[in-house]
């Protein structure tokens, strides 16, 4: 019996810095001229696993299985909302990821799920699940 995808999204957030003069319309748009901060050839990042829940289900709607399409849609929206909620921080969302299936090669069935790592080990230093 296949194992259902866990309702978890991985966010990779990395340090940024103000890269140049402020946008002349920043007072109205809120735009910041930011770039990724690289120290000693490495980006400083943090990996956050965010547990999701179905608010509609909590309000009595029928449960919907968490699948790749729902995960991708949720992860993009979560990345944007995380950036908005952490405007005072120098961290911004660099990447988002969904759980990856572990498949039994004999049967082709999903037997477990793995949360993605930070990746790019040659250019990224990544802390896991730390407070920002």
Average pLDDT, the chain: 87
Find out whether 1 and 110 touch, Cβ atoms under 8 Å.
Answer: no
Please give the Cα distance from 16 to 9 (Å, whole number). Answer: 22
- When comparing pLDDT for 122 and 18, which is higher? 18
Supply the pTM of this predicted model: 0.81
At residue 25, the pLDDT reads 82
The pLDDT of 57-82, averaged and rounded, is: 90
At residue 125, the pLDDT reads 84
Per residue in 48-65, pLDDT (tens digit) is: 999 998 888 788 888 888
Helices (H) and strands (E) in the chain, counts: 3, 8
At residue 76, the pLDDT reads 94
């Amino acid at each position: 019996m296949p194992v259902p995808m866990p309702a978890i999204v991985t966010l990779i957030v990395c340090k940024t810095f103000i890269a140049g003069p402020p946008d002349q319309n920043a007072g109205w748009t809120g735009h910041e001229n930011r770039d990724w901060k690289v120290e000693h050839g490495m980006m400083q990042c943090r990996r956050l696993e965010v547990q999701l829940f179905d608010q509609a289900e909590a309000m009595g709607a029928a449960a919907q299985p968490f699948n790749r399409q729902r995960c991708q849609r949720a992860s993009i929206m979560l990345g944007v909302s995380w950036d908005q909620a952490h405007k005072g921080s120098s961290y911004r969302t660099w990447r988002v990821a969904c759980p990856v299936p572990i498949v039994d090669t004999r049967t082709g069935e999903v037997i477990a799920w793995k949360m993605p790592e930070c990746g790019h080990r040659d250019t990224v230093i990544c802390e896991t699940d730390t407070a920002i």
